[in-house]
Every structure is written in structure tokens, then in C-alpha cells.
């Protein structure tokens, strides 16, 4: 009896130990970035696990660079535009794919899924040509266009899943009331799909905010770069003298909004990820 009790207690301790380790593993790198960013450059090279005194000089350094501010502005513009376009096109497409039976529907679904599996590098040279032809090279427009390649497929996919869950009779009621497909979509379905659209939009925003390869390739000047490229290209006097303080400060600046979003909307995000994968 006591042995069994001991075993139970040990099991419980083990479990909480595991939870602790996982928490530490998940959070520590970001925590350490915050700690580093708050240290003056003179203390940077002594390892310490917490902040002794708050020093904002790294943030001041980063935020006084016009290039970094431009990058933040570009990232915001690009991410929001991509979300808007993906939701608009995704919503109409999801209505068609989720609620209408027609010849060729499966083909379109497979096509969309296929695009989401594309390696980005595979379209790099072709897309480069398209962007240059449209005169969008080195401008946010080029990035907005190119980002639809990865945001649009999963937006369509997730919204289709949610669209299918709406009851058939609701749409039939709208038909009997004389609503055209467009009216049904905008007046009846869209108000009901706000949660799904928020989820999908959030995922699209995160994806666009984090993208690196296209942003690196399709922009040239500091004023047109996005945040990930700006951070990747922060450099010091030589390869061995990276300004770690400002890099960590910049990292924290661009990550904190995302972390807050994720913590607030974690339920939404989880439902979106699983709708796109498990049910799809």
C-alpha cells in the first residue's frame, strides 16, 4: 500500500518535472533573447540568466535606424495586404468548393493542395521574371503577389472546411428568400464565418510576417526590405563581430506582437491548424 503510494507520488513528481522541462525548453530561448536585449553591450559577453539592470540602449539603437523602421512598415503593409487578398479570394473560392457540387471540383481541390506543397525555390526564377515584367521588383507589391502562393492555398483549404460545416438548410432558406450566391455568401455566410476568417487571417499574417526567401530575393534596397531580411542582414564590422545586442532587440520587437497574438488566440490558431490538416 505504501509502496503504491510512493510510486504514485514519484509518478506525479516525474510528470511535473516533465512539464517543467517542456516549459523551459519552449520558453527559454525567447526569454534569453529578451535578457540579452536588455543588457548593455559591455555586459554582453558575460553569460547570465536574468536581467540585473534594464538597459534600453539596444532598442534605442535599433529603433533609430530608418532602415529597420522601414522594414517594420513594409512587413505590416505586406502582411495585411496578403491577409486581405487571401481572405477575399479564399472566401469566394471556399464557397464554390465547399457548397457547390460541380464537375471539376476535385481537380481544383487537388490543384490547390498541390500548390501548397510547392517548394518555393521551384518557382523562384519564373516568379522573378513575372515580378520584373509587372515592374514590381524591389517593391512591397511584388512580395504581396508572391506571398499568395503559400497563403492562398491554405486559406482556401481551411475556409472550405469551415464552409462545409454550415447547415445546408440555411443556404436553402436564403435561396427561397431569393438570395443570389453572392448575397448568400456576403449577407448570410460571411457574418457566420468571422471566427474562421479571424483564424485563417491570423495564420496568413504569421506566415507572411515570417517569410524570408522571397523577401530576400525580390527586394534589393534597405528601404524595401521586410523585417526578417532586415534582421538577417544586420551585421557588424566583420563576420565575427555581430552586434548581438541590437539583433536580439530587433528580434524581440518583431516577435512580441506575434507572441501576444498567439497567446490570446491560441484556441483559434489550434482550430485553424487542425481544420486545415486533420479534417482536410
Partner 1 sequence: MASVTLENVNKRFGTTRVIEDVSLEIGDGEFVVFVGPSGCGKSTLLRLIAGLESITHGDLMIDDQRVNNLTPPERGIGMVFQSYALYPHMTVHDNIAFGLKLAKSDKQTMEERVSQTAKILQLDNLLDRLPKALSGGQRQRVAIGRAMAREPKILLFDEPLSNLDASLRVQTRNEIAHLHERLGSTMIYVTHDQVEAMTLADRIVVLNEGHVEQVGSPRALYEQPASRFVAGFIGSPRMNFLSVTGRTAGEAGCQISIPGLGDQVLPRRMENDDESLTLGVRPEHLIPAAATGESGFKILNVEYLGSEAYLYLQVPDGEALVCRTEAPCPFTRGGRVTLTFDAHRAHLFDRDGHALPMIAAPDTQPAPAQATTS
Partner 2 sequence: MTAREQQGAPPDNGRHAASGDGSVRLDAPPRRERGTRVRRRRVRAAWLFLTPMLIVLAAVAGWPLMRTFWFSLTDASLSSLEGAQFIGLENYLVFDEGWYGIMADPLWWQSVWNTLYFALVSVSLEAVLGVIVALVLNAHFRGRTLVRAAMLIPWAIPTVVSAKIWAWMLNDQFGIINHLLMGLGLIAAPLSWTADASLSMWAVIMVDVWKATPFVALLVLAALQMLPGDCYEAAKVDGISPVKVFFRVTLPLITPALLVAVIFRALDALRVFDVIYVLTSNASSTMTMSIYARQQLVEFQDVGYGSAASTLLFMIIALVTVIYLYLGRRQLGGES
Query: Could you tell which of partner 1, partner 2, none binds residue 36, using a CB distance below 5 to 8 A set by kind?
Result: partner 2
* Secondary structure element (H or E) that encloses residue 120, with its range: none
Grid cell in block for residue 255: 516577435
The gap from C-alpha 111 to its chain's centroid, in whole angstroms, comes to: 23
Backbone angles phi, psi at 221, to 5 degrees: -100, 155
179 binds, among partner 1, partner 2, none (CB under 5 to 8 A by kind): partner 1
CB of 199 to partner 2, least distance (A): 13
Q: How far is the CB of 64 from partner 2 (least distance, A)?
A: 20
Q: How far is the CB of 65 from partner 1 (least distance, A)?
A: 46
192 near partner 1, rule: CB under 8 A? yes
Q: Is 41 exposed, middle or buried (0-12, 13-18, 19+ CB in 10 A)?
A: middle
183 binds, among partner 2, partner 1, none (CB under 5 to 8 A by kind): partner 1
Q: Which distant-in-sequence residues (6+ apart) come within 8 Å of 153 by Cβ? A: 112, 113, 115, 116
Closest CB 170 distance from partner 1, rounded Å: 5
Contact criterion met (CB below 8 Å) for 184 and 175: yes
# binding residues, partner 1 (CB under 8 A): 16
Binding residue (CB under 8 A) for partner 1 from 69, 149, 179, 213:
179
Footprint on this chain of partner 1 (rule: CB under 8 A): 167, 169-170, 172-179, 183, 187-188, 191-192
Amino acid at each position: 500500500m505504501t509502496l503504491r503510494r510512493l510510486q504514485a507520488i514519484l509518478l506525479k513528481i516525474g510528470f511535473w518535472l516533465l512539464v517543467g522541462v517542456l516549459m523551459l525548453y519552449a520558453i527559454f530561448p525567447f526569454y534569453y533573447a529578451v535578457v540579452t536585449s536588455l543588457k548593455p553591450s559591455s555586459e554582453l559577453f558575460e553569460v547570465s540568466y536574468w536581467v540585473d539592470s534594464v538597459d534600453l540602449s539596444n532598442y534605442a539603437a535599433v529603433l533609430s535606424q530608418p532602415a529597420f523602421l522601414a522594414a517594420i512598415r513594409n512587413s505590416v503593409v505586406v502582411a495585411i495586404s496578403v491577409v486581405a487578398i487571401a481572405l477575399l479570394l479564399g472566401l469566394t473560392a471556399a464557397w464554390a468548393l465547399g457548397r457547390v457540387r460541380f464537375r471539376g471540383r476535385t481537380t481544383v481541390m487537388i490543384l490547390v493542395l498541390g500548390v501548397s506543397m510547392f517548394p518555393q525555390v521551384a518557382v523562384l526564377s519564373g516568379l522573378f521574371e513575372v515580378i520584373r515584367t509587372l515592374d514590381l521588383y524591389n517593391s512591397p507589391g511584388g512580395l504581396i503577389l508572391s506571398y499568395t502562393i503559400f497563403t492562398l492555398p491554405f486559406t482556401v483549404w481551411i475556409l472550405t472546411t469551415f464552409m462545409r460545416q454550415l447547415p445546408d438548410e440555411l443556404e436553402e432558406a436564403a435561396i427561397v428568400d431569393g438570395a443570389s450566391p453572392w448575397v448568400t455568401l456576403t449577407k448570410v455566410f460571411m457574418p457566420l464565418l468571422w471566427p474562421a476568417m479571424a483564424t485563417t487571417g491570423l495564420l496568413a499574417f504569421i506566415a507572411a510576417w515570417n517569410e524570408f526567401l522571397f523577401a530576400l530575393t525580390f527586394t534589393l534596397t534597405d528601404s524595401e526590405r521586410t523585417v526578417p531580411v532586415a534582421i538577417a542582414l544586420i551585421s557588424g564590422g566583420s563576420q565575427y563581430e555581430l552586434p548581438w545586442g541590437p539583433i536580439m532587440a530587433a528580434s524581440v520587437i518583431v516577435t512580441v506582437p506575434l507572441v501576444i497574438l498567439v497567446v490570446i488566440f491560441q484556441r483559434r490558431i489550434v482550430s485553424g491548424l487542425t481544420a486545415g490538416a486533420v479534417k482536410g
